[in-house]
Structure 1
Amino acid sequence: MSVVFTFPGQGSQEPHMLRSLPPHPVIAGTLQEASEILGEDLLLWDSEDALKSTVAVQVALLVSGVAAARALQAEGAHVDWAAGHSVGAFGAAVIAGSLAFPTALTLVKLRGELMENAFRQGYGMGVVLGIQQQKLHDIVARTFSREDPVYLANYNAPDQIVVAGSVRGVDRVLATARQEGARRAERIQVNVPSHCPLLDPVADKLAEALKEVPLRRPAIPYASNRTGRTLLDPEAIREDLAYGVSRPVRWHEAASLLVERGARLFIEMPPGRVLTNLAKTAFPSIRSVSVADSGLKTCCILANRHKAND
């Protein structure tokens, strides 16, 4: 029975999330390494004010996920797959063994800067629960305008979909969704229109930067949240990391594929439990836990218990 390490994306951030990581020498070492690479104390990026920046959020999420995953591996936790949601894909690529951590830090910082500079204000994302994809697609199509574009962005579950675009467009979609029976429809903590064509220029610049980066064949299979498939070819992973920023996240497809291939334990890296809750709802027959809730020791025990039952 296979074990998946999952890495959350933007929207999962919490103030002081780096300070709240479990005490462990590998985690402390990863934080120190990141601070040295960036040339400043990473914990300064960890406050509520600092996390208003897309750059700070994405770098902190990368470091948090890699630090926890490294600690689990240092304690002997077994892992068969690595999967990341949105910017979490970079953490997954690091732990899969395809992308070096220092390089990932540089790329994620650039990614955040490009996104932040492209859309200073007036854009964002919102989540809709309780409406099926086709119905929400129709609402978005009716709402879209050149002045206030809005798109389907993240397919997190059959009835949990995120939209992205101008704030006015997003708010109109959310209001219509509530009127048409959505269980929940609200904005999320993302101030850029991720995973839609508005970010095509960002993806192109990121692709240029990635051309200069060495990637290796992963030691652990890497699950793409853009295609919903697993990737072993370094060039395919390179493309995935670049264009994931402007293409929809197909998280449910990726998770479904892993379950079909035998995944029975999903362990979510800090700071949150968003991916854990998605898995619990979509796949009630499997086990899904988060480091934030269960701790390193329990997650390690569960990972090795699942390996022993192979």
Structure 2
Amino acid sequence: MSSLLVFPGQGAQRVGMLHALPADVLEEASEALGEDVRLLDSAQALASTRAVQLCLLVVGVACARQLQHTPDYVAGLSIGAYPAAVIAGALDFSDAIRLVSLRGELMQSAYPHGYGMTALIGPDLSTVETLLAAVHSPDTPVYLANINADNQTVIAGSDEGMRRVAERIKGNGVAKRLAVSVPSHCALLEAPAQALAEAFVTLKAPRITYLSSTRARPIHTPEQLRDDLAFNMCRVVDWRGTVQSAVERGVRLQIELPPGAVLTGLSRRVFEHGTVIAFEGARLDTLQALLQEEARRHR
């Protein structure tokens, strides 16, 4: 039996998400960033991709540290990969702050307006791929971005391309525009990903097994991790496959770090046995006891 911590991606953010966190983490993050991170979680600030990504990093690391027990696996969806790498001991928190600040700036400046992401609930993957092939063009670029569940995918691209796909699934599903202002996890972000890769710091081998959400399998070396973190912005996320991979490796406890519980809902469809729970809404001592019990069984 094993345990897994998962960290959400953009779209999970909310106003005020930093304000209940321990002061030492906020001070550490502010020092690394050279500005007060407490100013990043206002409604106005969260209009910025950079602010959203920094907030998700800080919240994820701060709450995971409160658990005080080491999980067997970590995984993160998109920006969630960065707090996962920090908790795995492969990436220093202060380095993560600086890299995520750059990541957000690169993504935001590449597509400042007219692009984004849309969740499609209902149609299966093959149907979505057929629709994308019919709509995609140089004028209406639109791509598969996330495979979240058997009947839930996310597409990314131009506003017009996404609108046309959404129009075609009416009556057979729901299209929901996400609170993400850039076209993540597709070829449109290859150039920003390359720029981020060139700015990367030296990483360590993860002390906790790190599951890549784009490869849906563990990666173990600093070189593989650098590639995964730098280029995950332009690669399709296979979250369904990542969770399945964890279950196949014996994971029976998944804890989702804040904010929100979107990944908890997705994982319940894959976990036939075991416990899937979100940090938010649960007692800290309960989560700690669950981790401790899973570690005892694992031994």
Deviation at 1:197, TM superposition (A): 0.3
Instruction: Name the structure 2 match of 1:200.
Output: 190
Residue 215 of structure 2 corresponds to: 227
What secondary structure does 2:276 align onto?
strand
Residue in 1 aligned with 2:136?
144
Pairwise CA distance, 1:20? 4.1
- 1:126–1:186 CA contact under 8 A, matched in 2: yes
Instruction: Look up the match of 1:298.
Output: 286
Partner SS state of residue 281, structure 1:
coil
In structure 2, give the amino acid aligned to 1:162: V
Which one-letter code corresponds to 1:238 in the other structure? Answer: R
- The answer on whether the counterparts of 1:96 and 1:218 sit within 8 Å (CA) in structure 2 is yes
In structure 1, the partner of 2:33 is: 38
Letter in 1 for 2:216: G
Q: What is residue 19 of structure 1 aligned with on the other side?
A: 19
- Determine the C-alpha separation between the residues in 1 that align with 2:20 and 2:260: 11
What whole-Å deviation, never above 9, does each CA across 1:88-111 have from its counterpart, x for those lacking one? 001111100111111111000000
Asked if the contact 2:86–2:92 (Cα under 8 Å) also holds between the matched residues in 1, the reply is yes
User: What is the CA–CA distance in structure 2 between the aligned matches of 1:286 and 1:12, rounded to whole Å?
Assistant: 24
SS in structure 1 at match of 2:280: helix
Q: Secondary structure at the match of 1:264?
A: strand
Residue 243 of structure 1: how far off its partner (Å): 0.8
Matched, 1:82 2:77: no
Separation in structure 2 between the aligned mates of residue 57 and residue 92 of structure 1, nearest angstrom = 16
2:50 matched to which residue of 1? 55
Tell me which amino acid in the other structure corresponds to 1:175.
E
Structure 1 unaligned blocks of 5 or more: 22-26
Cα deviation, residue 178, structure 1: 2.3
**What is the aligned partner in structure 1 of residue 163 from structure 2?**
171
Name the count of aligned residue pairs.
298
* Residue type at the aligned position of 1:7: F
Q: How far is the alpha carbon of 1:296 from its aligned partner? A: 2.1
Instruction: Determine the structure 1 residue equivalent to 2:179.
Output: 189
Moved more, 288-297 or 77-86: 288-297
TM-score, structure 1 length as denominator? 0.94
1:266 maps to what in 2?
A: 254
Structure 2: 5+ residue stretches without partners? none
| Greater Cα shift, 241-250 or 292-301 | 292-301
Partner Cα separation in structure 2 for residue 295 and residue 6 of structure 1: 17
Tell me by how many angstroms 1:295 deviates.
3.5
Structure 1 runs of 4+ aligned residues shifted over 4 Å read none
Give the Cα separation in 1 of the matches to 2:268 and 2:30. 35
Q: Equivalent residue for 2:225?
A: 237
Give the superposition deviation at 1:297: 2.0
Task: Give the conservation status (yes or no) of the 8 Å contact 2:257–2:278.
Answer: yes
Q: Separation in 2 of the partners of 1:31 and 1:185?
A: 36
8 Å contact kept, 1:280–1:286: no
Q: Secondary structure at the match of 1:282?
A: coil
Q: Tell me if the contact between 1:195 and 1:245 (Cα under 8 Å) persists in the aligned partners.
A: yes
8 A Cα contact 1:268 1:290, kept in partner: yes
Corresponding residue SS for 2:53: helix
Tell me, in whole angstroms, the C-alpha distance in 1 between the residues paired with 2:259 and 2:234: 24
With normalisation by structure 2, the TM-score equals 0.97
Q: Is 39-48 or 238-247 further displaced after alignment?
A: 39-48
What percentage of aligned pairs have identical amino acids? Answer: 46
